[in-house]
Amino acid sequence: MLPRRRGARSRATAGQAAFRAYVSADRRAPVSELAGQLLRKAFPDHWSFLLGEIALYSFVVLVLTGSFLTLFFDPSLAEVPYTGSYQPLQGLLVSKAYETTLQLSFDVRGGLLMRQMHHWAALVFVAAIGVHMLRVFFTGAFRRPRELNWVIGVTLFLLALLEGFCGYSLPDDLLSGTGLRTANSIVLSIPVVGTYLSFFLWGGAFPGTAIDRRLYIVHVLFVPGALIALITVHLILVVYLKHTQWAGLGKTNRNVVGLPMFPSFVAKSTGLSLMVAGLTAVLGAVAQINPVWLFGPYQPDQVSTDAQPDWYVGFLEGALRLMPGVETDVAGHTFMWNVLLPALVLPALLFLVLYLYPVFERWVTGDMVEHHLCDRPRDRPARTGLGVAAISCYAVLIMAGGNDVMAVWFDVSLNMLTWTFRVAVFVVPVLAYVVTKRVCLALQRHDRRLLEEGEETGEVHQDVAGGMSESHEPVGREERYKLLVRDLARPLGDPGRSAPLRSRIRASLSSWYYGERVDMPATAEERLQAGGRTIDPVSSGTGKDGGES
């Protein structure tokens, strides 16, 4: 009895101390108010909103496994004889970076599991960010008031690519060294300052002596710190601005319908985090990745075929392989267009387009309304077509990055493959845009037919004259709501030939962007109701057309 009383007394004391601490904090800061608002926050219940959480939890796995790896890894390029337990490399001169990577893989308990979990988590992290951004793009969740969060997301994606490249380059094996040689060539291609910048980054002529240590600091300190800061700001903005949601009964542009944060969302999110960690652990345990002991240590005079980077920077590899060898000498400086354009100009343009796209779409529509309802991709055929075209271009470049492997496996000419991809990188995106836009318009026509005729029941009837017909039933209230509540802009009117060139260009782009559409059949009352569901929650205005039904 005495131990029980002591335990109860200790718990009571701890509870009183916690209560006093809470009261003290609440008197000095709005703890109760903020906690109450946060716990009551609603989270839309749809699988597509979990993509960002997958990225978050894979980043947590990255931080935890990376913290373990830093205890054993040495980024020095100083050469030492290898004396570890991997017999084929015994006595070979290797760098400390490569030696400690092998030590982690064969001599540290759980080291190989941590290495492979870290690598798999990195791939999942970048993939989840990419797919999450695609979801935001195709559903229009980047529009006002979330433009800043879109910019933060693009920056997170850029930093994730940089973080992945730095980590990929650290082991100093033959594969990562080949990647660093490519990076050195890219830096050298920068006009005027390229040679100076290369000498500074690598600590001398390639392969240099300082690059691994500098990449290590960037990988474990600077970029993770920036990622943590941006993720924190991103989550704060998500809470402050509230989530977007798909149209449905009871869901409007002025509310959020979903599960409360506690206990529903917390339980679901906790389960997802455990699933991400568990899946990463399983992959790290059973799926071999980056076996640096098979590649061997990096030697500047050696390179192998079938050497491709991780998938997220594979498009740069493909672009480099497709660009013809073109150089120009200007005032004693060599412009290496075959490296400068695909490896520097192309990614710079890519991220510039990503950063500025919300501004472009807002300028084309003249729309200053806040949007909290997700667009269905079929209702924005031009935007969806552009997104699919970009994905198809990325896919062509990814495949071009492995043209040597494809030539060997399929026994075809490498030169023929290269020229095929050179044509495809321009033709395929155009075809993808045209086909996607036609498919979106066809799906809109299907929606219109559903509203006019109803859903097919599968029952066929024969009339007295012998004719056959299929019966239909009206579309349900939930489905009808989704089809009618569409927040679409209408193209701007023709400003006339006397208007400034900027206005005429804007009108032309608006017509191209929003000119083709299929209006849904609805009564005047339904149109009024649909406009009320998409009304601006701030100004109570209706944007360009008050919503479209």
Residues 31-55: tens digit of each pLDDT: 566 666 666 777 888 888 899 999 9
Give the C-alpha separation, 452 to 263, whole Å. Answer: 42
- Domain shared by 386 and 287, yes or no: no
Angle between the N-to-C axes of helices 501-514 and 346-365, in degrees from 0 to 180, rounded to the nearest 10: 90
Q: Where are the beta strands (DSSP E) in 259-381?
A: 259-260, 327-330, 333-336
- Position 81 pLDDT exceeds 90: yes
Within a domain: 516 = yes
* Three-state DSSP class for residue 262: helix
Q: Residue type for 345, please?
A: V
Closest by CA to 314, choosing from 115, 421, 161, is: 161
Q: Residue type for 137, please?
A: F
- Domain shared by 321 and 396, yes or no: no
- Domain shared by 257 and 384, yes or no: no
For the residues of 91-139, what is the DSSP string, one character each? Answer: T-EEEHHHHHHHHHHHTSTTHHHHHHHHHHHHHHHHHHHHHHHHHHHHT
> What range defines the domain where residue 502 resides?
376-458+473-534
DSSP state at residue 140: T
Lowest-confidence pick of 111-115, 234-238, 325-329: 325-329
CATH of the domain at 178: 1.20.810.10
- Domain shared by 394 and 330, yes or no: no
Within a domain: 365 = no
Q: What percent of the chain has pLDDT over 90?
A: 54
Could you give the C-alpha distances from 549 to 376, 484, 517, in angstroms and in order? Answer: 13, 5, 12
Lowest-confidence pick of 121-130, 210-219, 468-477: 468-477
Domain tally for the chain?
A: 2
Residues 6 or more apart whose Cβ sits within 8 Å of residue 348: none
Residue 548 pLDDT level (bands cut at 50, 70, 90): very low
Are the CB atoms for 77 and 172 separated by under 8 Å? yes
Higher pLDDT, 92 or 455: 92
Which pLDDT belongs to residue 394?
95
Higher pLDDT, 98 or 535: 98
- Domain shared by 219 and 297, yes or no: yes
Within a domain: 124 = yes
Closest by CA to 439, choosing from 373, 492, 389, 511, is: 389
Range 166-195 average pLDDT: 91
Residue 27 pLDDT level (bands cut at 50, 70, 90): low
- Position 12 pLDDT exceeds 80: no
Which pLDDT belongs to residue 487?
80
Closest by CA to 163, choosing from 55, 272, 270, is: 55
Angle between the N-to-C axes of helices 403-410 and 414-453, in degrees from 0 to 180, rounded to the nearest 10: 100
- Domain shared by 346 and 394, yes or no: no
Within a domain: 73 = yes
Range 158-174 average pLDDT: 94
- Domain shared by 502 and 435, yes or no: yes
Within a domain: 306 = no
Within a domain: 12 = no
Residue 514 pLDDT level (bands cut at 50, 70, 90): confident
Give the C-alpha separation, 260 to 257, whole Å. Answer: 9
pLDDT digit string, tens, across residues 192-216: 888 899 999 998 888 888 899 999 9
Closest by CA to 113, choosing from 58, 181, 65, is: 65
Residues 6 or more apart whose Cβ sits within 8 Å of residue 247: 373, 374, 481, 482, 485, 486, 533
Within a domain: 25 = no
- Domain shared by 328 and 380, yes or no: no
Q: What percent of the chain has pLDDT over 70?
A: 92
- Domain shared by 411 and 297, yes or no: no
Which secondary structure element, helix H or strand E, spans residue 344, and what is its range? none
321: tokens are 């392989």
* Three-state DSSP class for residue 377: helix
- Position 166 pLDDT exceeds 90: yes
* Three-state DSSP class for residue 159: helix
- Domain shared by 132 and 220, yes or no: yes
pLDDT digit string, tens, across residues 217-231: 999 999 999 999 999
Cα 367–Cα 369–Cα 372 angle in degrees, nearest 5: 120
Backbone angles phi, psi at 490, to 5 degrees: -100, 150
CA atoms within 13 A on the CB side of 7: 4
DSSP state at residue 460: E
pTM tops 0.95, yes or no:
no
- Domain shared by 385 and 346, yes or no: no
Give the C-alpha separation, 61 to 55, whole Å. Answer: 10
Helix-strand-coil percent breakdown of the chain, rounded to 5? 65, 5, 30
Within a domain: 118 = yes
- Domain shared by 83 and 130, yes or no: yes
Mean pLDDT of the chain: 88
